[in-house]
Amino acid sequence: MTDNNGDDESLSSSAIVSLLAGASGAVGVFFGWLDGIGESTVETLTNFAEDPTGFILDIIREWIVVGVLDTWSWLLTNVVGRVFDLLELMIVDGFVIPVRDATVPVGSAVVESVESLQVFGESALVELGLAAPFALGASWLATAIVVAVIVQLAWGFIETYLPVESLTGAVDALRSGVPDAGTGGDPNE
């Protein structure tokens, strides 16, 4: 189409709509509904008219992608999430709680025995008069040695039968990721 100056002028989609909507008579009544059509609808119709196969394939691709993503989301939420919940319950209810219930009485008994040993040493040594502070210090030292021996025996048992290297390795990895408080520098330096 050419304008009055003879220049080639291409009609935009909005120009086509305005021409059709402004027509008179039966054509105007028929195309009068085009007044309410927005720019995006005209653009969609234009895209469909230019490449109907590509337009339909784009819609199908979008449906397939949305379907795949919705399916994956459902799978992660309902299947994988439930598996992790089940594993958490198995670990907590099947391992952590029984180990805690088994070790609390033993730990309480060890603490009470150390406390009774300390009370016995204090009650027997208070009567020494001037030498009592030195004897009480030796008593505290003996108690500390007993506690150290118990801790070393427990640590030896744990090292023998549990993978302690994995625990200390994880702690070292965490510690290497935190910068030193004193330097405030990069942890990789």
**Residue whose pair of structure tokens reads 């549990």 in the numeric block:** 162
Instruction: Give me the tens of pLDDT residue by residue for the chain, a chain 189 residues long.
Output: 445 554 445 555 555 555 555 555 454 445 555 555 667 777 877 888 888 888 888 889 999 999 999 999 999 888 888 888 888 888 888 888 888 888 888 888 888 887 887 788 778 777 777 777 888 888 888 888 988 898 898 888 887 887 766 666 667 777 777 666 555 555 555
Instruction: End-to-end CA distance of the chain: give it in Å, rounded.
Output: 71
* CA gap 118, 136 in Å, rounded: 9
Domains of the chain, by residue range, sit at 9-50, 65-177
CB hemisphere CA count around 82 (13 angstroms): 5
CB hemisphere CA count around 109 (13 angstroms): 5
* CA gap 27, 25 in Å, rounded: 5
Per-residue pLDDT tens for 87-111?
888 888 888 888 888 888 888 888 8
Quick check: helix, strand or coil at residue 8? strand
pLDDT value, residue 17: 54
